[in-house]
Structure 1
Amino acid sequence: MNVDSLPIQRKTYTQDEAFEAALKYFKGDDLAARVWLNKYALKDSDGNIYELTPNDMHRRIAKEIARIEVRYPNPLSEEEIFDLIKDFKYIVPQGSPMAGIGNPFQIASLSNCFVIGNSGDSDSYGGIMKIDQEQVQLMKRRGGVGHDLSHIRPKGSPVKNSALTSTGIVPFMERYSNSTREVAQDGRRGALMLSVSVNHPDSEDFIDAKLEQGKVTGANVSVRIDDEFMKAVKLNGEYTQKYPIFSDNPKFTKTIQADGIWKKIVHNAWKSAEPGILFWDTIINESVPDCYSDFGYKTVSTNPCGEIPLCPYDSCRLLAINLFSYVDKPFTKDASFNFEKFSKHIAVAQRIMDDIIDLELEKIDGILAKIAADPELDVVKATEKQLWENIKHKAEEGRRTGIGITAEGDMLAALGIRYGSKEGNAFSVEVHKKLAIEAYRASVYTAKDRGAFGVYDSELEKNNPFIQRLKEADSKLYYDMLEYGRRNIALLTIAPTGTTSLMTQTSSGIEPVFMPVYKRRRKVNPNDKNVRVDFVDEVGDSWEEYVVFHHRFKEWMEVNGLDLSKNYSQEEIDALIKKSPYYKATSNDVDWLSKVSMQGAVQKWVDHSISVTINLPNDVSEDLVGQLYLKAWEVGCKGVTVYRDGSRAGVLISNDEKKEEENIDMLTTFPTKRPHTLEADVVRFQNNKEKWIAFIGLIDDKPYEVFTGLTDDEDGILIPRWVNEGLIIKNKNEDGTTRYDFQYQNKRGYKTTIEGLSHKFNPEFWNYAKLISSTLRHGMPIDKIVDLINSLQLDSESINTWKNGVVRALKRFVADGTHAKGQTCSNCDSENLIYQEGCLTCKDCGSSKCG
């Protein structure tokens, strides 16, 4: 029996109780404790918390996996499973499996990602709307979604409706993007990938859509690039676009210079970090599932982060293996990687992944039961019902899994190997080769006990390059697979591990360490005993500076007898890093071409794909981005994304501005008329002992207006502290004057409205707010507005306090990487200051000033 269906009588904990217990569990790591508590601790819709520490979560997961295990021969016990997943040490279910396994309070999928699509590549309006509805239905169940737009006919094509001609791809990009922004997923937005083939005649419009329109803010975008196009780029030749794409009898063709569209892709990626590139021929040729394309497993797009190429209605669940935990005697001269333990744990991890598929099938049955019980008419529910039936069929038949890793950077450092070196790249390949072989071996042995996936046919995949590499590496594995089949159609991936790595307290995924040591400031009460005040900010708040060590760097220090309690100067920090195995091995140090080469070599042993970003400094040229993309194709990467420091700032421009984009600053384009309703962020802050609150009206996640003032418990204008977003609605009073109301959703799902923000705050504050909102609405860059407000000479002390509060609220929206001109670092006097998450960070010494 599924425990999710049983009545729950459990002990509950307060937020404070659970946070304090989690903080102790994570040894004082505030961020890890909060991430676990907010995202993964078991809680109901009323906010009741049922787990005190991650051990409770791990026990919940172990019980459920053990429940599935007893269905099959030689079952793993609950304790065996718990010992491998506890403390995030070895095996870590990622995201949806961690939150959803054994969770009776959510009717949600355990899949991290899905791809959807129309049968026969239909581009009818009905087919396009069906995809829109399917996308929303998946996102409300917590899944990230990808789909391809290459089936949509080009702009200007004849259609048999009142429009007479097609509008092309871009309007539908906006529709799908807006749908993503409308769906909330447990406090976060949905994730969407939109892709299109470079062979499509509208691909250039697709490439420009996010840069020019400023509307496709709810989606990642990637271009599917084929080998013929890449060869044309290298030879500076022509390339023929077609609709339908790659058709032998196209309805439309267009011959272009390949280099022209290539330069546009490179330029836009250099400027805005998008589009990403998918090397589509490499993906299809290497894909094991595509050997079964006649059975519906033809890959059409990827999940939002690009690590799982999928066919329509297939899905995948993710799990990471913590590589650092397989280093014996880390950071010593005797350090070694325990391949024997690693191999044993891979086998168990793959088995657990197969169990999670059974748990997912139960979850889908629950979703289908919920749909059946809903009071809507069957015709209304038909698309959702068919969607989940399709997903269930693919999960049951193909049994796709997604085993990956985290802590690659820390593993290499613990072994004394520099990330990005030839030795480092070679060792990484060895580890990933072992992971591939042992995961496939486990899938074969699981098939012996449980049966092969539904359409397994060794003849169909015998010529697949990945299968051929396995055969060459381990012939016994290959011939065992011929005899017993394989339990899972595809097995491996390397996904982003953002929150996972926070809880494993390691470097993220396949990436190097970002920074091993940096300085932070925390606000202190100067009147407290034994407090050290290192800095007083412009509003009079006192701050203490402290050094933050990356967890595994701290372990290196302990192994080498270095003092962790000392308050190190920047010179001493630099000297520490230079002695450590992290020296010249951070994300800013690693040679970019070496990283691309490493990705291509590792990709040979990953049957899905790898999510990795090449981080570049702000001053790199577009030519270098083009070289990296070309190198990635040549070494066999399936996809690549670059991020140039600060490139997200100021990328939204109008079509008129595009003509002068090389000569003027890029400004945000807003509608000329204030919309009736705006999404809003709520920002709280304290100046001295006064409590303040700001309501920031947003368009496309950019500040459009700001209302700020003192909060007052007695007058009842405080909103609950858990409210951090809502809507600002422009309404009319009875006398015809305008008022602005704030509306939020309470924990029971009802809407609560605070009427008349303009009447709640001091009129003088309100008048200044209107002036500042005007500068926001006319596209003045936020960092310039911050400078403008700071420069105001105001006599009233309360107005100056208000001014500082507005600055503090708006700094949160300054694009990361924006340089702060005219300011110097209080730690080292450097003028090389940039905004990072609302704080001014010195790029020279790492010191950060918030507030």
Structure 2
Amino acid sequence: MAFKNAVIAPQVGKETFSQDEAFQETLKYFNGDDLAARVWVNKYALKDSFGNIYEQSPDDMHKRLAAEIARVEKKYENPMGEQEIYQLLKDFKFIVPQGGPMTGIGNDYQIASLSNCFVVGNEGNSDSYGGIMKIDQEQVQLMKRRGGVGHDLSHIRPKGSPVKNSALTSTGIVPFMERYSNSTREVAQDGRRGALMLSVSIKHPDSEKFIDAKLEQGKVTGANVSVKIHDDFMKSVESGKPYSQQYPIDAEVPTYSKEIDANGLWQKIVHNAWKSAEPGILFWDTIIKESVPDCYADLGYKTVSTNPCGEIPLCPYDSCRLLAVNLYSYVENPFTSQAKFNFDLFKEHVAYAQRMMDDIIDLELEKIDAIIGKIDADPEGEDIKHVERSLWEKIQTKAREGRRTGVGITAEGDMLAALGLCYGTDEATDFSEEIHKTLAVEAYRSSVKMAKERGSFTIYSADREKNNPMINRIRKEDEALYQDMVKYGRRNIALLTIAPTGTTSLMTQTTSGIEPVFMPVYKRRRKVNPNDKNVRVDFVDEVGDSWEEYTVFHHKFITWMRANGYEVKKNYPQDELDELVKKSPYYKATSNDVDWLNKVRMQGRIQKWVDHSISVTINLPSDVEESLVGKLYFEAWRSGCKGVTVYRDGSRSGVLISNKKEDKKEGEFSLGFPTKRPEELEAEVVRFQNNKEKWVAFIGLIDDLPYEIFTGLQDDEDGILLPRSVTKGKIIKNRDEDGNSRYDFQYENKRGYKTTIEGLSYKFNPVFWNYAKLISGILRHGMPIHKVVNTVTSLQLDNDTINSWKAGVARALKKYIPNGTIAEGAACGECGSKNVIYQEGCLTCPDCGSSKCG
């Protein structure tokens, strides 16, 4: 116990704050925005592994960041001062480091990378089991350091290919998709799951199986998937001609090839995206043709995949850090007739942003030194540590050699509205293109200036880059800048991106990334407690809880109201709210209003000034035809987009289907469950805690779906003793000496010996057992899991112990609810949206990003 207390104690001499102290101070900082305050305290406040909080508000964080960046600046000529950097970061007004940099810079309590994005890969495109398992380990090692990871599967031989082992033929891509997906689901840091992108070339003979993989129930739930589409495939679809697939995909003389109906496969992609929002599309020839790093492909910079959100295409073992410039803050006199964009200040700050990003690379190199030091100090044998150490050495080499940066933007939607421009119109798109052209030119100018002062990235070659379209656009805009680049080089191999900026936009209190506003006005609900005074009950939910409903305005919509003389605190009736929105620049400019084709064209025009890529989603209403998705994809290809994702409202709900044949056989229900229970069932063990009591659930599975559940207290007087390492086993139906049926749980220990816990029916409280039989009965009859959970939670039970059991059963079953299933009757506790879905067993709101688990 003394050791435990010593470890949890905060660092000597460092002031700490309670969760509530930090929250209350941060709430004041964000002027009462409880969502922003909660997100900052939970995700970004400096804390150690035991929850001790060392920062009371974001102002403390900005001082931490400024001090560290200034420390690096002192290594170079004409350094920026700490106060100068702090003023750029302060209040999230101008420059905002994202995610990893915001959390990790100056953080000595965690040994983690500052990088947001990684890609790993197989040298020589090896698809041996050794190579495939090495990628699996590398993926996990990066995720435990908080990085999002992408890798490509096009090097894996197609299903049925001959192999020289006992299997005789290859299993193909899909089993390895599942393996990598499962690894992602198993890695979590501070409750944050790993993020994974899997890609495959449309040329690969298994690409159709890849496209279909996520439609099968419970498959590949831990990864985003995207198809690398080539120009010749798009032309085959246009012309109606067959398309040739082959393996290896780049071989001049492939070992295997076949012709397919391009249109048929195209319709499959369109249908699946319409139905489930995946796969995403990567226009691979455009990515490679436009990529500046691919001018150095033979030196190890060949782009092979992207990060999970698609905004950073990368070569193997390269990484990138992200930073956003807040566009709204450069609008003077916003929402008035005198509104204008301050281009001079913007240019100055873009140069600073690029410089700070380069400083962050030096800070990342220090972090990698610490990671390698930690690996060396670990007690494992060198053979175990080899893969992890080699991985970080490769990442360190790429970061030092290429010095890749990810300068982007946020608040595009608010910037346009503040200038009186309607998002999606030609006038607004023209202005946005001018903004991004300016950003590109000034970031490149800053990188060239740093090359003169600090030295260029080590493999820079003007001759290699002379035919690159991005470099030539820069040259056309500013010949003098180009000539300086030829003379001095450039500090960074690639510079720009547009990321989603989800939580970043909560901090800046603006629209996210390049996206328009989601809604300028929405309803939020606040739970009414029995002792609350002077409250109004507007809604009573299905369990009898009372809620007060109130109107929430988008932050910059409030700014518009004030600038135009409207009362902010007035309780507006709905018809007046509708009239207010109509008068505002946000009218017909929300994510559901913007003309979809115009949004794609806007993305294509901006993409020409972004040397990496853009993360953007085309939001569609639920009733659109599948054909529209195909039209949007073609428009994106023709417009020069590097990738595109389409989300049809509600398309995540009910899209995961059983991979069983639909024809019902005698003795089976529609889900393929047998009417007679099999003698043995594969089982998963789920542990949870209620009111400091340890509970355990044994869940019998058929085709990875819950078929039955038994649960109760663990380590209780009746003797449910189970090692913590046991997570899987079998539930076996047996009979006792008197001929009565019983259910045993059997598992293998680490040495391969089997251990049996006899008679689960005897071990658990009889009341638990009776309820378990009831719930197992409705599971076996194929009721959707989320409805089973609703049934369990709605049971009216007076006994506190039974209620704890009820909550535990619900928690154990939630993890099996297909991702994207709509939570019927639920409302987001943060923004009030009724568009709440299940994701990884948690209730998630796609509208504001909040999540509630447990």
- What is the alpha-carbon distance in structure 2 between the residues aligned to residue 516 and residue 141 of structure 1? 37
Aligned positions of 1:412-491 closer than 5 A: 412-491=416-495
Q: Distance in 2 between matches of 1:496 and 1:840?
A: 17
1:771 is matched with: 774
* Offset from partner CA, 1:799-818 (integer Å, 9 cap, x none): 99999979997899686574
CA–CA distance in structure 2, aligned partners of residues 593 and 698 of structure 1: 48
Q: Report the TM-score, using the length of structure 2 for normalisation.
A: 0.85
Q: CA shift at 1:277, angstroms?
A: 0.8
1:130-175 alpha-carbon deviations (Å, 9 max, x no partner): 1111111111111111111111111111111111211111111111
Give, in whole Å, the separation in 2 of the partners of 1:707 and 1:444: 65
Supply the distance in 1 between the matched residues of 2:801 and 2:130 (Cα, whole angstroms). 56
Equivalent residue number for residue 598 of structure 1: 602
Distance in structure 2 (CA, Å) of the matches to 1:522 and 1:561? 28
Q: Normalising by the residue count of structure 1, what TM-score does the alignment of the two structures yield? A: 0.86
Change beyond 3 A, Cα 1:416–1:796 = same
1:537 to 2:546 alignment: no
SS at match of 1:253: strand
Structure 1 counterpart of 2:97, from 89, 93, 98:
93
Matched, 1:677 2:681: no
Partner of 1:846: none
1:146 maps to which of 143, 147, 150? 150
Q: Are the structure 2 counterparts of residues 494 and 788 from structure 1 closer, same or farther at C-alpha, using a change threshold of 3 Å?
A: same
Aligned to 1:745: none
More displaced 10-residue stretch of structure 1: 123-132 or 207-216: 207-216
| Among 775, 780, 784, the residue aligned to 2:783 | 780
| Aligned partners of 1:811 and 1:839 also within 8 Å | no
Q: Is the 8 A contact 1:654 1:669 kept in 2?
A: no
Residue matched to 1:319: 323
Equivalent in the alignment of 1:225 = 229
Q: 1:274 aligns with which of 278, 286, 290?
A: 278
**Structure 1 residues 270 and 555 mapped into 2: Cα distance closer, same or farther (>3 Å)?**
same
Structure 2 residue aligned with 1:744: none
Taking the aligned partners of 2:116 and 2:348, their CA distance within structure 1 comes to 25
8 Å Cα contact 2:700/2:731 also seen in 1:
no
Indicate the larger mover: 461-470 or 375-384. 375-384
The 8 Å contact of residues 688 and 695 in structure 2, kept in 1 or not, is answered as: no
Which of 304, 309, 313 is the matching residue for 1:305? Answer: 309
Q: Is the 8 A contact 2:684 2:700 kept in 1?
A: no
Compute the displacement of 1:176 (Å).
1.1
1:177 aligns to what? Answer: 181
CA 1:223 to 1:416, structure 2 compared with 1: closer, same or farther past 3 Å? same
Q: Distance in 1 between matches of 2:700 and 2:62?
A: 39
Contact 1:269–1:642 (CA under 8 A) maintained in structure 2: yes
Secondary structure of the 2:240 match is coil
Contact between 1:433 and 1:605, CA under 8 Å: does it hold in 2?
A: yes
Residues 1:41 and 1:759: Cα distance change in structure 2 (over 3 Å): farther
Listed as ranges, the matches of 1:584-663 within 5 Å are 584-657=588-661
SS in 1 for 2:472: helix
1-structure distance, mates of 2:518, 2:641: 23
Match of 1:379 among 356, 379, 383: 383
Residue 750 of structure 1 aligns with which residue?
none
> Secondary structure of the equivalent of 2:244?
strand
Structure 1 gaps of 5+ residues are: 1-5, 685-690, 716-725, 742-755, 826-831, 844-849
3-state secondary structure, aligned to 2:549:
strand
State the partner residue of 1:687: none
1:93-128 CA deviation, whole Å, 9 max, x = no partner? Answer: 000111110111111111111111111111122111
Give the aligned residue type for 2:428. Answer: G
Could you tell me which of 6, 22, 26 is aligned with 1:18?
22
1:191 equivalent among 185, 195, 198: 195
Q: Which amino acid aligns with 1:775?
A: I
CA RMSD of aligned residues (A): 4.0
Aligned twin of 2:739 = none
Distance, in Å, in 2 between the alignment partners of 1:534 and 1:161 is 67
Q: Note the C-alpha offset of 1:528.
A: 3.1
Partner of residue 576, structure 1: 580
Give how far 1:796 is off: 7.8
- Give the residue type in structure 1 aligned to 2:554: H
Q: Does 1:283 align with 2:287?
A: yes
| Structure 1 residues 786 and 569: CA distance shift in structure 2, 3 A | farther
Gaps of 5+ in 2: 1-9, 718-725, 737-741, 747-758, 828-832, 848-852
Is the CA contact (8 Å cut-off) linking 1:272 and 1:648 kept in structure 2?
yes
Distance 2:797 2:700 in 1: 30
Asked whether the equivalents of residues 288 and 464 of structure 1 are also in contact (C-alpha less than 8 Å), the reply is: yes
Map 1:513-532; keep pairs closer than 5 Å: 513-532=517-536
Question: How far, CA to CA, are the matches of 1:39 and 1:447 in structure 2?
Answer: 35
CA 1:568–1:251: 2 relative to 1, 3 Å: same
Cα drift, residue 519 of structure 1: 1.0
- Tell me the CA shift for residue 773 of structure 1: 4.7
CA deviation profile, 1:682-702 (whole Å, cap 9, x unmatched): 799xxxxxx999989799999
Quote the Cα distance in structure 2 between the aligned partners of 1:189 and 1:223.
23
What is the count of residue pairs matched by the alignment? 799
Distance 1:773 1:102, change over 3 A: farther
Percent identity at matched positions?
67
Alignment partners' CA distance in 1, 2:339 and 2:700: 52
- CA displacement at 1:772 relative to structure 2: 3.1
**AA at the equivalent of 1:141:** R
- The residue type paired with residue 226 of structure 1 is H
Q: Distance in 2 between matches of 1:840 and 1:575?
A: 31
With over 3 angstroms needed to count, the CA separation of the structure-2 counterparts of 1:658 and 1:306, relative to structure 1, is farther
The aligned counterpart of 1:211 is: 215
Give how far 1:23 is off. Answer: 1.2
Give 1:518 shift.
0.9
Question: What SS does the aligned partner of 1:117 have?
Answer: coil
1:82 CA displacement? 0.7
Q: Indicate the residue corresponding to 1:547 in structure 2.
A: 551
Task: Pick closer, same or farther for the CA change 1:352–1:801 going to 2, 3 Å.
Answer: same
Amino acid at match of 2:355: R
Question: Offset of 1:537 from its aligned partner?
Answer: 3.2
Q: Measure the CA separation in 1 of the matches of 2:123 and 2:683.
A: 39
Cα distance between partner residues in 2 of 1:632 and 1:708 = 51
Q: Give the 3 Å change call, closer, same or farther, for CA 615–154 of structure 1 in structure 2.
A: same
- What SS does the aligned partner of 2:433 have? helix
Between the aligned partners of 2:291 and 2:673, the Cα distance in structure 1 is: 42
Higher mean C-alpha displacement, 526-535 vs 557-566:
526-535
Q: Which has the larger displacement, 623-632 or 565-574?
A: 565-574
Conserved? CA contact 2:690–2:804, under 8 Å: no
Taking the aligned partners of 1:354 and 1:633, their CA distance within structure 2 comes to 32
Contact between 2:660 and 2:672, CA under 8 Å: does it hold in 1?
no
Aligned partner (choices 102, 105, 110) of residue 109 of structure 2: 105
Shift of 1:677: 3.1
For 1:86, the aligned partner's letter is K
Aligned mate of 2:77, from 73, 76, 81 = 73
Residues 787 and 153 (structure 1), Cα distance of their counterparts in 2 relative to 1, 3 Å cut = closer
Residues of 1 paired with 2:844 and 2:199: CA distance? 36
Contact 1:184 1:190 in 2 (8 A): yes
Quote how far apart the aligned CAs of 1:789 are: 6.8
Distance 1:195 1:698, change over 3 A: farther
The one-letter code sitting in structure 2 at the alignment partner of 1:511 is E
Does the CA contact (< 8 Å) of 1:613 and 1:643 recur in 2?
Answer: yes
C-alpha distance in 2 between matches for 1:34 and 1:696 = 35
CA distance in 2, matches of 1:508, 1:50: 28
Distance 2:762 2:555 in 1: 49
Instruction: Tell me what 1:401 maps to.
Output: 405
Q: Distance in 2 between matches of 1:68 and 1:704?
A: 58
